[in-house]
Structure 1
Amino acid sequence: METAEIRRRFLAHFENAGHTVVPSAPLLFDDPNLLFVNAGMVPFKPYFLQQETPPFDRAASVQKCVRTLDIEEVGKTTRHGTFFQMNGNFSFGDYFKEGAIEHAWNLVTGSLEDGGYGIDPDTIWVTVLESDDEARELWRKVAGLSDERIQSRGLLDNYWHMGIPGPGGPCSEIYVDRGAEFGPDGGPVVDEDRFLEIWNLVFMQEEITNVRAKDDFDVVQPLPSKNIDTGMGLERVAYLLQDKHNLYEIDEVFPVIEKAAELSGRRYGADHEDDVRFRVVADHVRSGLMLIGDGVTPGNEARGYVLRRLLRRAVRSMRLLGYEDPALPELLPVSLGKMKASYPELERDFARISQIAYAEEEAFRQTLDKGTQIFDVAAASAKQEGATQLSGERAFALHDTYGFPIDLTLEMASEQGLSVDEDGFRALMSEQRARAKADAKSKRGQHADTSVYRAALDANGPTDWQAYTTLTTESRVLALLAEGGSVPALGAGTVGEVVLDRTPFYAESGGQNADAGTISWDGGRAEVLDVQRPVRGLVVHHVRVLDGELTVDATVEAQVDPEWRLGARQAHSGTHVVHAALREVLGPTALQSGSYNRPGYLRLDFGWNGALSREQLHDVEEVSNRALREDLPVSAAVMPLAQAKEIGALALFGETYGEDVRVVEIGGPWSRELCGGTHVDRSSQIGTVVLTSDSSVGAGNRRVEAVVGIEGFQYLARERDLVQQVSTLLKTSPTDVPAQVQKLVDRLKAAEKELEKLKSAELVGAAADIANAAVDVNGIAFVGHRAEGAGGGDVRSIALDVRGRLQGRPAVVVVIGTGGDKPSAVVAVNDAAQERGLSANDLIGVIGPHIGGRGGGKADVAQGGGTDLGGIEAALTAAQAHVANA
């Protein structure tokens, strides 16, 4: 049974049982504590935590998930994968244990003809919490299972909670016996390879607190409304029903392995190390496809870094399999071919997805080329120092600075007869991870404790948000917050947070900055510094009290700065216009992946390879301003998400949308996007759009910036004034400025060339004098010269020229320049001196410590640099002494 069919049957089974089928949320979910959705219940957390009222009593979903903690284990075991799909059914105060067990049993053991999975009931075992007699009895009643096949476990295995105070409860897990070939008998408590867990039924029935560990917490009280949360691993069921041994061999994954084997010429199943690489390729290619599909782009931080690492590990694994040509153009379409049955949007968006993935591979291939060069230098340096091991610091620098994988470093070091200080490398990696975790923890800490906000929401209900309809409201202060808790008042000069019953302020969202303005009352006034939604439904104003005292229950006037709001509307509508213009000029794959706008300014990130040409930027700007001149109508309408998708509304990647969404149109279908921001009424009100920059923000992703409205006119005025100043200096008209500047540049280049000729002539003349000053050291002509003001290139030219003038006898030339306030040294040794046992590489090693640096090279020429000009004379003396002792 194909994976897509297993998925279809699951949803159909629960839809027939009265469940609302909820589409998978994007992998980028609005949760400050998660990089990606990592479990099927994540989108339902607000309902389980009673932060929101669920719009249904029972639901079912197949949720896309990514877990990244075990990336290094992918392929080494049969269980670890990064992307996976979690089937789940959920009950919110509706059915409980008996219903959950009945639904699960009927689907798992139901006949294929009736839409079930057809698993033999005699192969099924279950576990229950050791104190959950109710669940044990229900398994006997519903499924007719014997006591032998209902095994008890403790809290560590069979109790679920979120790790924080909140709901929790016992769980019951369903296992399938795969047979004696997979391990010993005795049920899951004996062997979980033979007895494969496929489904976990969680019975949320109590509130817990003081969570000290997975199995150490305090139960507060029973929940007033009991809930069901289940999770069935789709991939696990697939390899069970497809009679495969692991998730890498199922129909959605294995075709990539087959293609990789074809490309590499190696056979899957023939060698363990190769098998691990094949599995890494298959898993990471699929994960990359799904992550880019949901709007992640490669980068150096957070989600972008995870995607970059996955794609590069796949490319690296193909290289280790012996395939060095671009791999993703061969593999990604294969993965698409299997995943599009469940996620047809992947095929519609594949042009963008592939563009980003292929650009990342190309960038990594260049990184590998650069890293190989850096590695060669590091390996040569280690050998010159007499070392047999590449230091952990060098291996870490290759990994951290150049993105060079440690596996490749190990392999190449072995080829050079070197080992690698893996312990030192791992220690440095651990330090880096610890810093990253500490940083992430500190960032999460800003959002972790939302109890004070939840308390305000529970006590007063959601904020009456009127940002779309007015700039002023008469409001009542519901709560005042400072230093993490509620306070009765905020005095003059203090900073705190204010919760109002109604507000006209726009809270930062969707790339739009929060409104600025004031909150005033009889005898006082506060400046609004920021506006946020720390929990859904609640708007919180970050304020500084300018004068007076603000108290709870005070009646206030909340006033948005009208100039600020006008600029914000222009910038946000301008963002939509530029996005539409980019797609018109560059094509439909130039889709927005992120944005930010504040009054007068916007930036927009979009999928694209390579810098935009001057002509393309001009065209985007012209299309944008023509749209403004056409005075297109701007409208907003709320509609079901399915309807919005049907009419072609574009969604911003990474945003989470509810069942009903707001669609903003500029000129009808010309620009139609899901958006919660504030906008102008007609496009002409944007004023003007002036593009100011185009830059890269990662492989396959560009960023354009622009100014709009009065700021756009001011930018153009500054440009005009600058041109006028230059034309005055050049005594020419503004239109002739480029030609006159080009003439100046040409003259400057000609003068520089003439200076180079004169400098070369001077160096040639100086070389003769320097050679004539050579001293005899045991029959060797030695030159030690300090070249004032000379840089690296000139120093090398002098040394080689002088050596050429001393060919009639053994000669050693040492020249140290002082250009750029740093010493740069070159040693040149002729053949006759090399026959006497002298080496330029050895001599540069003698010089380096005296000038605070190091260097390297070959026996005939070596060069290096340092930081200490004061050590030049000592370096020359040391070099002469080395020659004398040869």
Structure 2
Amino acid sequence: MAPKQYGVNELREMFLKFFETKGHLRLPSFSLIPQNDASLLLINSGMAPMKPWFTGEQEPPRHRVCTCQKCIRTGDIENIGHTARHGTYFEMLGNFSFGDYFKRDAIHWAWEFLTSPEWVGLDPDRLYPSVFAGNETTPADDEAFEIWNKEIGIPAERIFKFGKEDNFWEHGSGPCGPCSEIYYDRGEKYGCGQPGCTVGCECDRYMEVWNVVFSQFNNDGEGHYEELKQKNIDTGMGLERLAVVCQDVDSLFDVDTVMNITKKVTDITGASYGQSRERDVSLRVITDHIRSATFMICDGVLPSNEGRGYVLRRLLRRAARHGKLLGVNEPFLFEVCATVIGENEGHYPELRERQDYITKVIRVEEENFARTIDGGLRIFNDMLEEHKAKGEKTFSGTDAFKLYDTYGFPIDLTTEMVAEQGMAVDEAAFRQLMQEQKERARRAREALGDLGWAGIEFGKDMPETKFVGYDAANLENCPGKILAIVAEEELRDGVLEGADAILVLDQTPFYAEMGGQVADQGVITCGDARFQVTDVQKNKGGKYMHYGKVLSGALKVGDAVSSTVDGKRRKAIQRAHSATHLLDKVLRTVLGAHVQQAGSLVEPDRLRFDFTHFSALTPEELSEVSRQVNEAILEGYEVHTDVLPIEEAKQRGAIALFGEKYGDTVRVVDMGHGYSVEFCGGTHLDNTAKVGVFHIDSEFSVASGVRRIEATTGLLTLETLNRNQDMIFEAAAVLKAKPFEIRERAQQTMEEVKTLRHTVEAFQAKEAVNEAGHFLMGAKDVGELKVLTGTLPDADADRLRKMGDFLRDKAPNVVAVLSAVNGGKITFLAVCGKDAITKGIKAGDIIKSVTAICGGKGGGKPDSAMGGGTDVLKLDDALATVDDFVAGKLGL
């Protein structure tokens, strides 16, 4: 009995509806970016986003849940396109129980969904379950076997028992358990034809379509398994795999939604699917990778050189290179993503909402990579030919490192391209060179000198410093006690006098540098003693270390002191920090939800904000960002801070820095009752109006996919505005115009300058041609060619080129070498007419010959070449060799 021909989108909806009838809460797919889980770069399974619900750390929204989860796996990326079963992007259908139903219901429902005519309706006789066979530490899953055999009615000989590798799920210590898989017999045409081919064979006949994990044990990490009080169900079923079975196609690349993407790729590339294995591999790679890239970008991943951003960049670059293998040398992937969106928008409407953004990110990355790969490919091909000429089968690590370090060519791409030529990269040598580079960088950092005493540890019995600086009342004459002193000079009888030192207090109003905010400055006093605080750092033990110098008097451990923060400086820092939060909010509004903070620096009335974005901001975008930030300032939003349980903070919509670790409680800064809500431990104003005027100084790239805005607030902005106004008045005076006429007058002046420049250039070109004509009259006859050399004092390269072009075009039989000396350096130009080139005379060869004599080098094309030299005393000797060089080439 042939299976019913359900499409991918039908199967997804059918699964979710089925489990809704079983009391499950349908949840949308979680983001591909893991939340509060540093163990994963990207979500790679249906259960991964639900770990806290499985472990009991958090209460799930319901104890029965079903999802269709987007997943990315790149561990087998080299196999993509070569096999029928490997893909980087896939969707995992799952039904989950958190301490609710267990094996019996999970197995019965799996069977009902797969075999019932109301649902998928697969032939029961073609389905084969497997169970855990047990081992020396964990018993066999006889319970699951009995359910399959006695309740479902599967004969014992059709229930397969496999070992831990196949039928037991665990990942280190923690919850784990046996699993039961269901295989579908696709028929002999998909088999290997070997005797004894059955479930478990590596061929494509028996395809796993269902896997239910019975999470019933806790592994202590040392091989001991104890029964869990809360037993869970984790079911995973690959949506594309089920579609392969239902549509009776060869591979996941042949199911309807995926094949429609491939058809779009074939329309663009002109490569037909099924034409050849090599073309099919490229079409599959492009199809798979553009699916992954589209969903990753939609969820906020941007191309970069590390982490998940590097995964995305690698996928896009592999796809772009396979496009080149199919003859497409222009960006094209951005066109394909529209088809990906069209095939999936029914279940993922956010794809259509973010289509313009996704398309732009892909196109920018394609264009950037095109510039990298075009240069790198030429160098790679030259290196490859050298290795082949020597009969080598290994591409040297030195060459691979040079491609990476000098030309920006990714090592994984080099490895893949070398493998296509039947060779291998010496990766050990490459890694060694990478390590040496890191060591050089480390030594360079060390050469910068002592970075301070931030790593100093104090006794464990010493309490953490209590920070009391959020309260403005504590910023002046705040009491405290000295717990420790670290000085560059030895203390005399435990007393510190007139030296650079670090003080550790029991409590402090001084904010320590952290979270991008610079430290407070001020003074600590004790009687006549006065300590100037220039920096504050917080060590791992929670002690605030006050760096500075004793200006007068003496201090010792145990002294009761009074701390006063520089209030004017603190306010300036607060203005910049509060403006940073407003900027973060506005960037998300203007550019999109993909924007994430990637770093910041907050100084007095000055801020630096790094954020993820794929291209430079347009003048219009920058203007809109500035306008909205200043509007938020003028609104006079009240600023409130609260310390909340982390889950409550998230429910309020507080934005956290990705990758940061937070405790059970967090400090939340709320501006405007929800306008901007962020996790933040820094100091802030109590009202946004006190920021003053916000002014953007610059916007530029600091890394691939990361932009930076530098801006000022408060007094610094006022200084900038006043300085700019003074410059406007001065410029107006120079141009003899009123301030509002500056632009028109400047444009008028530039047009006049442009006209004068063209006139001068035309005169110089005419003069160069006339001079070249005089040179030509003095040429020597060497065979049938006219050879001339000459030196033009103080001529620049452009003048030499104009003269050379005239000589080459005027006399087809000319060979000319012109030179000029500027600042002790020689510039050479050689040109050859058509007749000279026909006789084997090439300008590039001549340049290499004459520059070598003068201690330089050069090269170029047969008709024109340039070079340089440094030994001016040998210039005449070099020019004198040209006649002999030509004569030698002519055999005279």
Provide TM-score, normalisation by structure 2: 0.70
Secondary structure, counterpart of 1:343 in structure 2: coil
What value does the CA root-mean-square deviation take over the aligned residues?
A: 6.3
Deviates most, 282-291 or 310-319: 310-319
Q: Which residue is equivalent to 2:831?
A: 828
Distance 1:840 1:24, change over 3 A: same
1:311 aligns with 2:316: yes
1:75 aligns with 2:75: no
1:207 to 209, 217, 220: 220
Question: Aligned pair count?
Answer: 819
> CA offset at residue 478 of structure 1?
14
Which runs of no fewer than 5 residues in structure 1 stay unpaired? 209-217, 414-418, 444-452, 481-490
2:582, 2:878 → 1: CA distance?
65
2:161 to 138, 141, 151: 151
CA contact (8 A) 2:300 2:595 kept: no
Which residues in structure 2 correspond to 1:825-864 (within 5 Å)?
A: 825-834=828-837, 836-847=839-850, 849-850=852-853, 851-858=855-862, 861-864=863-866
2:748, 2:113 → 1: CA distance?
85
1:687, 1:712 → 2: CA distance?
8
Distance 1:115 1:866, change over 3 A: farther
Distance 1:879 1:153, change over 3 A: farther
Secondary structure, counterpart of 2:161 in structure 1: strand
CA contact (8 A) 2:264 2:336 kept: yes
Distance 1:220 1:58, change over 3 A: same
Distance 1:132 1:6, change over 3 A: farther
Q: Which residue is equivalent to 2:357?
A: 352
Q: Which amino acid aligns with 2:85?
A: R
Distance 1:580 1:236, change over 3 A: closer
1:107, 1:465 → 2: CA distance?
57
Distance 1:698 1:124, change over 3 A: same
Distance 1:776 1:336, change over 3 A: closer
Which residues in structure 2 correspond to 1:120-135 (within 5 Å)?
A: 120=124, 122-128=127-133, 130-135=135-140
Q: Which residue is equivalent to 1:292?
A: 297
Q: Which amino acid aligns with 2:170?
A: W
2:825, 2:411 → 1: CA distance?
34
CA contact (8 A) 2:25 2:64 kept: yes
2:191 to 178, 182, 191: 182
Distance 1:747 1:790, change over 3 A: same
Distance 1:174 1:708, change over 3 A: same
CA contact (8 A) 1:40 1:65 kept: yes
> CA offset at residue 603 of structure 1?
3.0
Which residues in structure 2 correspond to 1:425-824 (within 5 Å)?
A: 426-427=425-426, 431=430, 435=434, 513=517, 529=536, 543=545, 566-567=571-572, 569-575=574-580, 577-578=582-583, 589=592, 592-594=595-597, 596=600, 598-599=602-603, 600-603=606-609, 605=611, 611-613=617-619, 617-618=622-623, 620-633=625-638, 671=675, 676=680, 680-695=685-700, 704-720=709-725, 722-723=727-728, 752-753=757-758, 756=761, 759-760=764-765, 763-764=768-769, 766-767=771-772, 770-771=775-776, 774-777=779-782, 780-802=785-807, 810-819=813-822, 823-824=826-827
> CA offset at residue 27 of structure 1?
1.7
> CA offset at residue 318 of structure 1?
4.5
Distance 1:322 1:732, change over 3 A: closer
Distance 1:23 1:177, change over 3 A: closer
Higher RCO (C-alpha under 8 Å, 6+ residues apart) = 1
Q: Greater Rg, structure 1 or structure 2?
A: 2
Q: Which residue is equivalent to 1:416?
A: none
> CA offset at residue 286 of structure 1?
1.6
Which runs of no fewer than 5 residues in structure 2 stay unpaired? 1-5, 443-454, 486-495, 550-554
1:37 to 13, 18, 43: 43
Q: Which amino acid aligns with 1:199?
A: N
1:685, 1:301 → 2: CA distance?
39
> CA offset at residue 284 of structure 1?
1.6
CA contact (8 A) 1:359 1:699 kept: no
1:719, 1:188 → 2: CA distance?
78
Distance 1:152 1:438, change over 3 A: farther
Q: Which residue is equivalent to 2:490?
A: none
CA contact (8 A) 2:185 2:205 kept: yes
Secondary structure, counterpart of 1:794 in structure 2: helix
Secondary structure, counterpart of 1:131 in structure 2: coil
2:331, 2:835 → 1: CA distance?
49
> CA offset at residue 696 of structure 1?
5.4
Secondary structure, counterpart of 1:275 in structure 2: helix
CA contact (8 A) 2:642 2:668 kept: yes
Distance 1:358 1:381, change over 3 A: closer
Secondary structure, counterpart of 2:170 in structure 1: strand
The Cα offsets for residues 782-805 of structure 1, whole Å up to 9 and x where unpaired, read as: 323344544432222233445567
2:561, 2:263 → 1: CA distance?
68
1:24 to 14, 27, 30: 30
1:883 to 878, 881, 886: 886
- Between the aligned residues of both structures, percent identity stands at 25
CA contact (8 A) 1:634 1:682 kept: yes
1:712, 1:752 → 2: CA distance?
39
1:494, 1:332 → 2: CA distance?
60
1:191 aligns with 2:202: yes
CA contact (8 A) 1:639 1:662 kept: yes
Deviates most, 427-436 or 136-145: 427-436
1:837, 1:618 → 2: CA distance?
60
Secondary structure, counterpart of 1:719 in structure 2: helix
The Cα offsets for residues 691-721 of structure 1, whole Å up to 9 and x where unpaired, read as: 2223457899865442223332233344345
The Cα offsets for residues 489-529 of structure 1, whole Å up to 9 and x where unpaired, read as: xx998999x999999969966xx647657999999999875
2:500, 2:96 → 1: CA distance?
49
CA contact (8 A) 1:204 1:229 kept: no
Q: Which residue is equivalent to 1:109?
A: 111
Q: Which amino acid aligns with 1:153?
A: G
The Cα offsets for residues 534-583 of structure 1, whole Å up to 9 and x where unpaired, read as: 9xxxx9567466698999xx999999986676455534543454466668
1:20, 1:558 → 2: CA distance?
57
> CA offset at residue 74 of structure 1?
1.8
CA contact (8 A) 1:29 1:655 kept: no
1:200, 1:493 → 2: CA distance?
65
Distance 1:478 1:638, change over 3 A: same
The Cα offsets for residues 264-311 of structure 1, whole Å up to 9 and x where unpaired, read as: 454433432232222222212221121111112234554334323423
2:413, 2:27 → 1: CA distance?
46
Deviates most, 55-64 or 239-248: 55-64
> CA offset at residue 350 of structure 1?
3.0
Secondary structure, counterpart of 2:139 in structure 1: helix
Distance 1:382 1:275, change over 3 A: closer
Q: Which amino acid aligns with 2:171?
A: H
Q: Which residue is equivalent to 1:259?
A: 264
